Copies of this chain bind each other. A is one copy, B any other.
C-alpha cells in the first residue's frame, strides 16, 4: 500500500483500458455468493498489459461496480492488482451511494494495492457543481495517497460535470484524469480541456481520440476504452498512429472502429443503449471471444433480446479488427506483437 501520492496526470498517457468483471455461470442468481471468475480476471488483466494497454481501470458501469458485493469487489481488485504486478497503474472503481462509503472502500482498495481510484459520485440525488467538487475534495483529502480518476457519466450520475467544476477539480492534487464523454458532450470537451489547462488528463473515448489528439496533440495524449476487452490491438494501434502523427491512417482506423461499433446501439439509438449498457456490453464481450464472461448480475439481467443481436455483431466485427491489428509487426511502429489471446476453449 502506497503511503503518498505517486501518480500524476503524466502517468495517465496512452490507452486507459476499462475492464469488465468476468462472471461465473451462475452470476445472475441472487443467491450466488462468489460471482467473479477470478481466474479469468487474472488472465484478462494480464492480457491487457501484454496487449499494450497503458493504464487499467476496473469496476465502472459495465464492470458492474453497482452489482458486485463488497467482498467480490475486493477479491476482484486484489486479483487484478496481483496479475498486473506493478507493470502499469491500476485504478479501482469505488463508486458508492455516499462519500463515507467511497472513502472506506477506497481506503481498503488502496491497501489491496490499487494505485488509484476510479470514482463516480453518489447518484441517488444529482449533485450540482459545488456538490461534485466537495465530494471529490472530501475523498482526496481523506485518502491523500491515492490518485483519482473522475468518472463523468451523465446518464449514471444524473448530470454532466460542469466546466467550472472541472476547473476546481483540476486543482486537487490527487485528481489526475477524468473519463469524459468526449464528442458526445458537444463543445464541452473543448471547454473542459481549457478549464483544466493540462493539470489533469481528459480522456475521450477511443473513437474520438484522433480528432482531439490532432487538434490538441500535447494535451489529449490518452483515451479510455472498454472495447479493449474485445481485444486491445485496434486501440493500441491507434495510439501508435497518433503518436506518429500519421493522421490519415488515424482517420481511416477511426472509421474502422466506428464501423465495428455501429450495431452496438439498438436501432442506432444511444439513449436506448444507455438503459441497458451493462447487458449489451456483456453480449458484445462474449461475442468477441477475446475473454470469457458469464451472465450479468442482478438486477441488470433483463434486456430485450433483439437488442443483443447488434451487440454480438459489434463484438464479432471488433474481433476481426483485433485479428488484423494484433498480427506481428505491421510496419515498424512500436506495436506489441506477442500477445496471445487468453480465450479458453
User: Which A residues are within 8 Å of any B CB, using their own CB?
Assistant: 30-32, 61, 65-69, 96-101, 103-104, 121-128, 130-131, 134-135, 138, 142, 155-156, 183-187, 190, 194, 207-208, 211, 214-215, 255, 274-278, 297-302
Contacts and interface: CB of A to CB of B under 8 A. Distances in A.
A275 B126 contact: yes
Question: How many copies of this protein are present in the complex?
Answer: 4
Contacts of A98: 66-69, 297-299
9 contacts: A30-B99, A65-B124, A100-B297, A123-B123, A124-B156, A125-B274, A127-B299, A128-B276, A185-B186
A277 B127 CA distance: 11
A71 to B, nearest CB: 10
A184 B183 contact: no
A187 B255 CA distance: 13
A307 to B, nearest CB: 11
B184 A302 contact: no
Given A30-B100, A183-B187, A186-B186, 11 more contacts: A30-B138, A69-B98, A125-B155, A125-B275, A125-B277, A134-B301, A138-B299, A183-B186, A194-B255, A211-B215, A214-B215
Contact of A31 (B32, B69, B142, B277): B142
Contacts of A278: 125
